[in-house]
Amino acid sequence: MTDNRDPSPAPDLSVRQFTGDLIDAATAGDYDDVAEALAVLARAGSPRVPAGVVGDLVGRCAAAVRGHHGPGADTVFTVVLEDEQGERAEVERLPPGPRAAMRALLAALNHDRPSRDIQVELATRGTPADIVGVLTHLLVWLAELAEPSAAALSCFTD
């Protein structure tokens, strides 16, 4: 999947293609390709590269959520976090990257582009392992949202 393609921050089309290939590999269960793509992003050397992919994944997640809830200009999206036992949990329990990715998704859903952009930047500020964690969360969310009965998104702290 990543043989001769490196996600360049310049053309938006190459980021979308890279993201599409990443999603296709994850959906097909080609986990070696997914791991290779995540490694490419983790060692990109510039936060702009993973931020482009994170932004694209956030947009795709937002489109999937809207697909479940239909269009509505007056709709305001919020989240409720629960722990493994179904008890309410504080958002601060999430690692900073996934927490920012969740906030970016909410901002995208609520049509707040400046906040979405800030949260995407925050989501990709960590170490390479942190960035892989953010991308993994977004891929899991996208897979969960592909289910017709999607009602919750998984978050993990380790």
Q: Per the structure, how many domains does the chain have?
A: 1
Could you tell me if residue 3 is inside a domain?
no
Could you tell me if residue 17 is inside a domain?
yes
Could you tell me if residue 155 is inside a domain?
no
Q: Which amino acid is at 26?
A: A
Could you tell me if residue 129 is inside a domain?
yes
> What is the spatial distance between Cα 110 and Cα 81, in angstroms, rounded to a whole number?
18
Secondary structure in 3-state letters for the chain: CCCCCCCCCCCHHHHHHHHHHHHHHHHHCCHHHHHHHHHHHHCCCCCHHHHHHHHHHHHHHHHHHHHHHCCCCCCCCCCCCECCCCCECCHHHCCHHHHHHHHHHHHHHCCCHHHHHHHHHHHCCCCHHHHHHHHHHHHHHHHHHCCCCCCCCCCCCC
Could you tell me if residue 43 is inside a domain?
yes
Predicted local confidence at residue 158, as pLDDT: 56
Predicted local confidence at residue 123, as pLDDT: 95
Could you tell me if residue 7 is inside a domain?
no
User: For residue 82, what are the β-bridge partners?
Assistant: 88
What's the whole-model pTM score? 0.83
Degrees (nearest 5) of the Cα angle 116, 122, 128? Answer: 130
Could you tell me if residue 2 is inside a domain?
no
Going residue by residue through the chain (158 aa), what tens digit of pLDDT does each one get?
444 444 433 447 788 999 999 999 999 999 999 999 999 888 887 778 899 999 999 999 999 888 877 666 677 777 777 777 778 878 888 889 999 999 999 999 989 999 999 999 999 998 999 999 999 999 999 988 888 777 677 777 65
Could you tell me if residue 108 is inside a domain?
yes
Residue range of the domain that includes 29: 12-145
